Structure 1
Amino acid sequence: MTKTFHHFFILVSSLLAIACSDSNTIIHESSEKSESYLPPENCVDISTCHLADGVMLWVDDNLKIQAESEFLIRLRVEQGRPFEIKGAKINGKSMNMGYIPLFFSQSNKDTYITQGIVGACDTDDMVWQIVIDYSIDDVVKQISLTLPMS
C-alpha cells in the first residue's frame, strides 16, 4: 500500500472517530431509497461469508478487528465466471459514520485482496460492515459482511 494511501486511511479514521456519536442520534440518509440501492446478501455474525453464486468474503485469519489497526480483507470467486468489483467500502452498520473506500487488487485468478481500517468510537455498540457491489455473469449484486470487533 502506498504511503499516501496509508495517510488517507489514518485521516479518514481520525475523522470517523471525531464524528462518532451516540447511537440514539442516528441520522437516516435517503440513500437507501436511491436508484442505486441494492438489497444486500448479508452474512451476519460470522467470520466468513459464502454465497450461492460462488463468492466468498472474509477477514484474513478471522481476526477480531481493532479500531485504527489495518487488517486484510479477501474476496474469492469461482474461476471461469465473468466477475467485476463495482465498488467496495466499510461503513457503520449501527450508526452513520460515513464510509471508508476499499480498493481491491487481484492477487491471482480467483482472489482479490485489500487492506481495511476502521475508526475508534466511544460507544460500545458500534458495528462496522464491509459492503461490496459486484457483477457476476453480468448480474449486479451486493454482499455485506459484519466485521468481528474485539
Structure 2
Amino acid sequence: MIKDVKELIKNLLTDAILTLPPQLQIPVEIPTSIDGYKLSHPIGAYLIVYKGSTYRQKDVKNIVAQDRDIEIMVVITARYREDYTPEEYLDFAINKLSGYQTDAKRTDRMIYCSQDEWLGEEAGIWSYAATFIVPVEFYQVGV
C-alpha cells in the first residue's frame, strides 16, 4: 500500500508540473536514499518519501479494520532563483496535492498538508519538506 501511495503522489505531482512553463519544470523522484541524494537536475527536484502512519480502529467486531493516515513527505530541493524560488515550488506542491480525493470509503478522504518546514541550505541549494496525509483504510488480511 505504501508503494502505491508514493506512486500516486509522484504521478499527481508529475502531471501538475507539466502545467508549468518548461523552464520551471523539475523531476519528481522516489529516491533509493535520501541521505546520499545528489541533485542532478540544474534547478531542483521533488523527492517522495514515506514518513509513517497513524491508525484509528473502526467499530467492527471480529476483524482488525482501521482508518490509516499515511504520511508522505515531499522534499523540495532547489537552487534559489529569482524567477521561481524554492518556496514557490513548496507552495506549488501544496496547492496541487491538497484536496485530491482518494478512493477510501471514509468521509475524510482528501489528501491534505499537515505541515511544512525548512530543512536547510547547502551550496545554494535550499531544501523544504511538506508532509501530506493520505487517508486510506486497513483491513486484516487472511480473515
TM-score, reference length from structure 2: 0.29
Larger Rg computed on CA atoms? 2
Q: Which one has more relative contact order, counting CA pairs under 8 Å at least 6 apart?
A: 1
